[in-house]
Amino acid sequence: MLDKKTLGIVIKKERERRKMTQEELAEKSGLSRSYVCDLESGRYFPGVKTLMKVSIGLGNECNLIDIALKGEEVHV
């Protein structure tokens, strides 16, 4: 399982790869921009529901739950 800092880096990289702002990701995820910022900075490790929301916000091809649990796809 990943630590919260590494997961934050993954979320940020995935967001940037899609050329999204934190505001756009927050809107698509149903979260606040400040919470997205906190996730990306590794302040919090999100629960499963939040990981699902962020995954949906990033697009269905990004499965953050699998990444968080397995840690296999992470290259930071």
Number of structural domains in the chain:
1
At residue 68, the pLDDT reads: 66
Give which of 58, 1, 61 is closest to 31, Cα–Cα: 58
Rg of the chain's alpha carbons, rounded to an integer?
A: 11
Question: CATH number, domain at 49?
Answer: 1.10.260.40
Question: Would you call 57 exposed, middle or buried from its count of C-beta atoms within 10 A (0-12, 13-18, 19+)?
Answer: buried
pLDDT at position 69 over 80? no
Examine residue 35 and state whether it is found in any structural domain, yes or no. Answer: yes
C-alpha–C-alpha distance, residues 29 and 23, integer Å = 10
**E-state strands within the chain:** none
Residue 44 structural domain: 4-70
Q: What pLDDT does residue 70 have?
A: 66
pLDDT band at 11 (very low <50, low <70, confident <90, very high): very high
